[in-house]
């Protein structure tokens, strides 16, 4: 919970100690600590906070965390987008308002995909839940609302979760690719969603998940492909979607964090020691081309998510990892947006929900 070294998590507030009730949401952070109106700008473009009020005497953070906590609250501005500062450069995506909106679109799409379920694993008697790489925290918050007697913890590199959350939900800033500092055999359920391109070593990562899951507890991985495919020949061999997919995969390889985990999750979970592993496939159409109501609705959301989201998904990877000029990257993104408008191509992104149990 407290920064003791580079692999330690930083708890921004331990709301489990709060006296608030379920009907009274609890601030996840000291509200002033994330107030960007106090931000100035460094020469290097990173935002600088004049007032780190989370670090005052009333803060739950000890003095020794000051440097780390202060740096967490900076952001890096790059090609007009805002990125996380803690573990600067570790993650490909921005953390600005647009990026948060895109994550919340995806959450809505997962609810549609899973018929409004937050998970498929058959969990029971839930007490402790971990959402690894929680993003905006939207899944963790929904989960805390659905299971009021459970404690839900979300971890992320970015402090982008809302201030007011259910009292049984809290967030920590942590690099989940390092050794976890939670107690062993602690969680009844660990949720991992869209950590593609984020994890350098999935074997090590899943070994952490295994170690910190209670015997009999469940881990669920929800991921999708970045390579559009079509089953009916409507996506010819020269279609731009092939180039798009190939470029993302190449960038991930160069970045040292693969984008192909969706196809590997089940095997990787079995290898990590999980049993009763179940894989449930799903498809996200690239736009509203499907006839079926649910698939069509998901496709329309996906089109919106991608139209607004491709810049955030790819700009840092293309320019910082691939060495492309911003102009070349923008042409690539514009081409993708153009293709996304065509319903003649019946393409989709395949994905998997994979869950497995730690043996008793």
Ligand X SMILES: C[S@@+](CC[C@H](N)C(=O)[O-])C[C@H]1O[C@@H](n2cnc3c(N)ncnc32)[C@H](O)[C@@H]1O
Instruction: Tell me: does residue 263 bind ligand X (CB under 6 A).
Output: no
Can you tell me which of 25, 94, 133, 167 binds ligand X, judged by CB under 6 A?
A: 133
Instruction: Tell me: does residue 224 bind ligand X (CB under 6 A).
Output: no
- CB under 8 Å to 63, separation ≥6 — which residues? none
Residue among 131 and 345 whose Cβ is closer to ligand X: 131
Q: DSSP letters along 265-288, please? A: HHHHHHHHT-EEEEEEEEEEESSS
- Binding segment toward ligand X, per CB under 6 A, in 131-139, 143-151, 162-170, 248-256: 131-139
Instruction: Tell me: does residue 352 bind ligand X (CB under 6 A).
Output: no
Q: DSSP letters along 37-60, please? A: GGEEE-TTS-EEES--GGGSTTSS
Number of residues that bind ligand X (CB under 6 A): 23
Question: 218, 155 in Cβ contact below 8 A?
Answer: no
Question: 192, 133 in Cβ contact below 8 A?
Answer: yes
Specify the DSSP element, H or E, that contains 334.
helix 326-340
Per CB under 6 A, which of residues 189..208 are in contact with ligand X?
193-195, 198
- Binding segment toward ligand X, per CB under 6 A, in 72-80, 90-98, 285-293, 295-303: 90-98
Residue among 150 and 235 whose Cβ is closer to ligand X: 150
Q: DSSP letters along 305-332, please? A: HHHHHHHHHHHHIIIIIS---HHHHHHH
Instruction: Tell me: does residue 157 bind ligand X (CB under 6 A).
Output: yes
Give the Cα separation of 281 and 267 in Å (integer). 14
Instruction: Tell me: does residue 129 bind ligand X (CB under 6 A).
Output: no
Can you tell me which of 30, 85, 151, 156 binds ligand X, judged by CB under 6 A?
A: 156
Residue among 245 and 351 whose Cβ is closer to ligand X: 351
Give contact residues for ligand X (rule: CB under 6 A).
84, 90-91, 93, 103, 106-107, 133-135, 139, 155-158, 174-177, 193-195, 198
């Amino acid at each position: 919970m407290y920064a003791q070294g580079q692999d330690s998590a930083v708890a921004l507030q331990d709301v489990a100690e709060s006296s608030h009730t379920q009907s009274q949401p609890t601030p996840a952070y000291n509200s002033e600590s994330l107030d960007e109106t106090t931000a100035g700008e460094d020469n290097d473009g990173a935002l600088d906070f004049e007032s780190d009020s989370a670090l005052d005497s009333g803060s739950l953070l000890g003095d020794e965390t000051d440097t780390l906590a202060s740096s967490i609250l900076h952001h890096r501005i790059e090609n007009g987008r805002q990125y996380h500062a803690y573990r600067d450069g570790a993650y490909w995506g921005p953390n600005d308002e647009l990026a948060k909106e895109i994550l919340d679109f995806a959450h809505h799409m997962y609810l549609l995909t899973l018929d409004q379920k937050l998970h498929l694993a058959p969990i029971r008697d839930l007490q402790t839940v971990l959402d690894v790489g929680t993003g905006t925290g939207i899944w963790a918050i929904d989960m805390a609302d659905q299971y009021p007697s459970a404690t839900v913890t979300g971890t992320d590199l970015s402090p982008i979760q809302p201030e007011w959350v259910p009292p049984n939900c809290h967030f920590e800033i942590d690099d989940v690719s390092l050794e976890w500092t939670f107690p062993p055999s602690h969680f009844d359920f660990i949720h991992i969603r869209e950590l593609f391109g984020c994890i350098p070593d999935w074997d090590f990562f899943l070994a952490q998940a295994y170690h910190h899951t209670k015997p009999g507890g469940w881990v669920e991985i929800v991921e999708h492909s970045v390579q559009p495919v079509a089953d009916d020949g409507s996506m010819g061999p020269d279609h731009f979607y092939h180039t798009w997919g190939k470029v993302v995969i190449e960038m991930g390889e160069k970045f040292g964090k693969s984008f192909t985990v969706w196809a590997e999750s089940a095997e990787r979970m079995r290898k990590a020691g999980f049993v009763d592993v179940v894989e449930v496939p799903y498809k996200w159409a690239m736009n509203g081309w499907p006839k079926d109501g649910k698939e069509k609705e998901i496709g329309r959301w996906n089109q919106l998510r991608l139209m607004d989201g491709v810049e955030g998904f790819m700009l840092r990877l293309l320019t910082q990892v691939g060495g492309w000029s911003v102009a070349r990257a923008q042409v690539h993104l514009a081409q993708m947006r153009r293709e996304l408008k065509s319903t003649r191509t019946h393409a989709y992104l395949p994905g998997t929900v994979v869950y497995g149990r730690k043996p008793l």
